[in-house]
Structure 1
Amino acid sequence: MTVTPFRVPLMQDPKALYECLATFQASSSNDEAIASISLALPPLDPLAALEQLGHATQAHFYWEHPTEKTAIAAMQPIARQSIDGGDRFAKTQRFISEVLQRTATAGELHLPMAGPHFFCSFTFFDKAHHEAQRFPAATVFLPQWQVACVRGQGVLVANLPLTPTANLAQLTDSVLQIWQRLQCRSAIYRDRFSLPLLHVPEPCLSHQTRFLEAAEATLTQIRKGELEKLVLSETLEVKTATPLPLAPTLHKLRSRYGDCQIFSLRDDRGQGFIGASPERLLQIQEGRLTADALAGSAPRGRTLREDAALGDRLLKSAKDIHEHRLVLAFIQQRLQSLGIAPHSTSPAHLLQLPNIQHLRTLVTADLPDRIGLLNVLAALHPTPAVAGTPQHSAEPYLRRYEPFDRHLYAAPLGWVDYRGNGSFTVGIRSALLQGNCLRLYAGAGIVAGSDPHREWAEVRLKLQTLLQALVEYKM
C-alpha cells in the first residue's frame, strides 16, 4: 500500500480515525492489510505504559537509553516471523519489506519514533550446539501497540489489521481507549516493589577451572598464530523464590546504568532476556551510521584518586589498546567491504560504568542509499568485542571451550523503522529468564599478554555486578 501522511485529528474528532481506516480498507487489495496510526502523547514513561497496559508478562520488546532520554515499548505482535538457519538477516529484511508493502501509515509521522517499527532479536550462532534451541535464529515482529518517548515527546503507534471483515468501529474504540488511558495515567513509573532476595554462593570452582583452562589453551593458540583474540564467556545460574518483577527490575537497571541501553524481550513461552548493555552495535538515523568499538576493561576505583589512576592505566595499557584496535579495525574493514567510508569520531576514550570502565571509540559514516541497516548488521555480527579474531577461527573455538549455548547473549537486539532507521544493541551484561530461573552471562577477551586469573576476576566482577542489579542477595 502507498504510505500516506494523513494527519488524524483524533483529539478533536475521533470520527476522523474511523473514516481514515475505512478509506484504507476500501483502497486495499490485500486481505492482510495493516493501518499504522501515530498519535501524539504528552511526556510519559514507556516502562509505566508496559506495566499499565498489562503486557509486562506477555510477549514484548522494551528498549531504553536513559541519558539519551529515549525509550520504547512494543506489545502484542500482529505480524511475526521466526527464522531458523542461515541467511537470517536477509530473510528478516524480506519479511519487513513484505509487511510494509501492505501497510498504510497515517497520523503524526513527524514525531520521533512515529510510524511502524519492527523489533528484532538474533541468536549469537544461527544454530544451538550444546542445548535445545531456546530462541529462533531470528525473530522479527510488528506490534499492535508501540509507546515511545524521546526527550519529553510521547507517541503512540497503533498497528491495526484491516481484513475485509474487520470491525472498524471496534478498532477505532480500541485505539481511543488506549490513547485515553495513556493520557490520564501517571507519566512516571513508580517503584512499589522490592526485588527477590536470595542467597547465592560464589561461582563454583568447576566453572573457574574450566575458564582458566580455556584461557590457557587460547593463549597457546594465540602463540601459534591461529588466533589474535578470543572472548570467553561464563554463566551463573540462580533461582529466586518468585519470578523477577519486570518493571521494578528494569527501573533498577536504568537507575543504576544511565549510560547503558536497557532492554527486555519476552516470547509467548514465557522466556525472557534482560540486561543493561554498554555497547550499541549499530545505529542508523537519516542515513548517518554510528557503531561502537568497545574493548579493553578495568575496574573502577574506590576513591577518586584510585579511579583516575585505574582509568589512566587503562588508556596506556598495551594489552588493552591492542585488544581495542582489533575491534576497531574489524568494524572499519567490514564497513569498507560494503562500500562505506568510515571514520572515527575521536581517539579511544573511557566509558565509565558503576563497577567497570572500558575503552571506547565511535565509528561514523554516511550510509549509501543502496545499503540497508540489516546488510550492515550481517557484516558486523559478531565483532571481536564479543567473539574474537580472525572471526572464522574464533567461532569454532567458542563452541569447543564453552559447554553451553549463548542463545541471545552477545547477539544483536533492536528495531528497524519503516524509513530504514534503527538501532541495535549487543546483548551483553544480560540474563536469560524462565520463571524463577536466571542464567547470567559475562565474558572477557583473551589476547597476547592476558593473565587468565585477571580475566577470570573480570568475568566474576561482571557476573556479581549484574546479579546485584537484578536481585537483592547475600554472598
Structure 2
Amino acid sequence: MENGASSANKTTSVSSSLQRETEYLATLINYAIENQFSVAVWRLPNDPVKHIVISRKPQLLKREATVLEELEQGFIFAPFDRNSDTIFLPADYKFTFTDGTLRAPEHPIETTSHTWFEEKFQRVVQSKATAFHHTKNTAANSPTVADYISLVTTGIQEIEKGIMEKIVPSRTKVIDLPLEFDIVQSFQNLCRSYPNALISFVSSPETGSWLGATPEVLVGVEDKSIFRTVALAGTQPYQEGINLKSVAWTQKEIEEQALVERYVISCFKKIRVREYDEHGPKTVVAGNLMHLKSDFTVDMKAIDFPQLGSVMLQLLHPTSAVCGMPLEPALEFLKKHEGYNRQFYAGFLGPVNVSGNTNIFVNLRCMQLLDSKAILYAGAGVTIDSIPEREWSETEIKFNTMLNILK
C-alpha cells in the first residue's frame, strides 16, 4: 500500500495509485458510515465530473422554511410527503473527481478536505475496498399484477367521475442483491449506462441508503441568474439507433405530458411570472426509456426574482408527473389507495450552491438498499385513456433502469 502525498497538490498527482476514483469513494463512504455521518455521491447529466460530500450532522428543514439561496454548499434530499422534513447535508468535506482523478481544490471547503484526507487516510486507503451503507428498517412487498391493475382501475374510475384528470399510482418490487453487489461499482455502472441522468448515492442514518438515476429536473438555478425546470411525461422503451424524430406518441401520452406542462405554467402564474421561455415537447432518451419533454427557462435577473428557485421548489413539489392533477385529490387518492409509504421515491434531491449552481431533480428510477435486499420503486401516469395492463408493463420497464446495472 502506498503512502498518500505530502500535500494537497501531490495528492492529485496522476501517478499515485490512491487516485483511483473507486478507492477514494469507497474509503470516504466507509468513513462516513463507520462514524454515523451522512454521505452523498453524484454526477450531473452529461457531465464527467463526480462529487462526494460528507456531512457530520444533517439539517432538518421545514418545507415552508427551505430557502435554497441561504443554504451553504451541500446536498438536499426530500421525501415525497410534503409535510415531512427535508434533509440537507452541509458539506463538511467535499471532493471532486475528473477522469478518475482527484481534482485539485477549487473551494476553501475542498482545500480543507484535501488536507484532512491526507492526514487521515494516507496510510489506510485500500485498493478493492467495498463500500458499506446505512440501512433503515423498511416494510415493503411486491404487489401482484392483479393488485396493481386493481389500483389503476380504481384510479381510472375516479378520473371518469371528473374528480381528477390524472393519477400516478406507483408500486414497489423487493429484490435480492447479488452477493457481489458493490455500491461504488454500481454507481459507476449507472454513470456509464445513463449519461443523461443525475446519478446519485445518498446514505444517512435518518434516510437509509438510496441509489438512483433520474432524468427529471425539478429546479435548476445557474449562477444565481437562470432558472430551469422541465415537464417530463410519457414513456416508451428505447431501442438503440432509433430516429427520435420518427417516434410516434399516442394521444394518451401527449395529453399526459401536456398536463405536466400546464402544471408548471400554473405555478408560474401563481407568482405572476410571465416572462419564461418554453421549448418542446420533444422526444428525449433517458437510459432504456424515451419520454416527452418540455424545457422552461426564466431570466431571474431580468425579472428581479432572486428567490425564484426556492419559491418554485415549494410550488412544484410534488409535480403532476409523480402525483397527478389536480394535486390535492390526487394526493388524497394515493394516500388512501396506494398502500405503502413512498419515503424518498418521487421526492427530490441534488446539489445546492455547488460551484455557484443548484441542480435539484425528482427522485425517480431509484432503489433503497437494505442489508441483502433492495426495494425498487416505479409509477405510471394514468389518464382516462389508460389501459391498466399497459401501466403495469410501464412500471416493469422502469424497474429495469436499476435492475440492468445489477446483472
Both structures adopt the same fold (TM-score exceeding 0.5):
yes
For residue 339 of structure 1, the aligned residue among 261, 272, 285 is 272
- Using the size of structure 2 for normalisation, the TM-score is 0.80
For the pair 1:92 / 2:40, whether they are aligned, the reply is no
Q: Secondary structure at the match of 2:318?
A: coil
Q: Secondary structure at the match of 1:73?
A: strand
For the pair 1:282 / 2:219, whether they are aligned, the reply is yes
How far is the alpha carbon of 1:258 from its aligned partner?
0.9
Change in CA separation of 1:93 and 1:156 when aligned onto 2, cut-off 3 Å: same
Q: Deviations over 1:181-224 (max 9, x none)?
A: 999x99xxx9898xxxxxxxxxx995211211111111111111
For residue 221 of structure 1, the aligned residue among 145, 158, 169 is 158
How far is the alpha carbon of 1:154 from its aligned partner?
5.0
How far is the alpha carbon of 1:11 from its aligned partner?
7.0
Counterpart for residue 124 of structure 1: 80
Change in CA separation of 1:383 and 1:298 when aligned onto 2, cut-off 3 Å: same
For the pair 1:232 / 2:169, whether they are aligned, the reply is yes
Counterpart for residue 402 of structure 1: 338
How far is the alpha carbon of 1:357 from its aligned partner?
0.6
- CA distance in 2 between partners of 1:218 and 1:406 (Å): 18
List aligned pairs for 1:38-57, cutoff 5 A: 49-53=24-28, 54-55=30-31, 57=33
- CA distance in 1 between partners of 2:147 and 2:153 (Å): 10
Counterpart for residue 34 of structure 1: none
- CA distance in 1 between partners of 2:149 and 2:273 (Å): 39
For residue 329 of structure 1, the aligned residue among 242, 262, 279 is 262
Counterpart for residue 141 of structure 1: 89
Change in CA separation of 1:344 and 1:270 when aligned onto 2, cut-off 3 Å: closer
Structure 1 unaligned regions, length at least 5: 1-9, 13-39, 101-115, 128-135, 161-170, 194-203
- The letter of the residue matching 1:373 is G
Pairwise CA RMSD of aligned residues?
A: 3.8
List aligned pairs for 1:105-120, cutoff 5 A: 116-120=72-76
List aligned pairs for 1:446-461, cutoff 5 A: 446-461=382-397
Change in CA separation of 1:52 and 1:254 when aligned onto 2, cut-off 3 Å: same
Q: Secondary structure at the match of 2:382?
A: strand
For the pair 1:178 / 2:117, whether they are aligned, the reply is yes
Contact 1:260 1:278 in 2 (8 A): yes
- The letter of the residue matching 1:51 is A
List aligned pairs for 1:362-441, cutoff 5 A: 362-367=295-300, 368-417=304-353, 421-441=357-377
Contact 1:49 1:147 in 2 (8 A): no
How far is the alpha carbon of 1:91 from its aligned partner?
2.8
Q: Deviations over 1:291-327 (max 9, x none)?
A: 12100111124x74xx44995212xx22111111110
Counterpart for residue 56 of structure 2: 77
- CA distance in 1 between partners of 2:128 and 2:8 (Å): 31
Change in CA separation of 1:436 and 1:389 when aligned onto 2, cut-off 3 Å: same
For the pair 1:468 / 2:387, whether they are aligned, the reply is no
Greater Rg by CA: 1
How far is the alpha carbon of 1:370 from its aligned partner?
4.3
- CA distance in 1 between partners of 2:157 and 2:63 (Å): 34
Q: Deviations over 1:440-470 (max 9, x none)?
A: 001110012111111111111111342222x
- Between the aligned residues of both structures, percent identity stands at 22
Q: Secondary structure at the match of 1:281?
A: strand
- CA distance in 1 between partners of 2:39 and 2:88 (Å): 11
Change in CA separation of 1:55 and 1:336 when aligned onto 2, cut-off 3 Å: farther
Structure 2 unaligned regions, length at least 5: 1-6, 131-140
Change in CA separation of 1:60 and 1:205 when aligned onto 2, cut-off 3 Å: closer
- CA distance in 2 between partners of 1:345 and 1:42 (Å): 45
Contact 1:282 1:424 in 2 (8 A): yes
Deviates more, 1:423-432 or 1:264-273: 264-273
How far is the alpha carbon of 1:141 from its aligned partner?
2.5
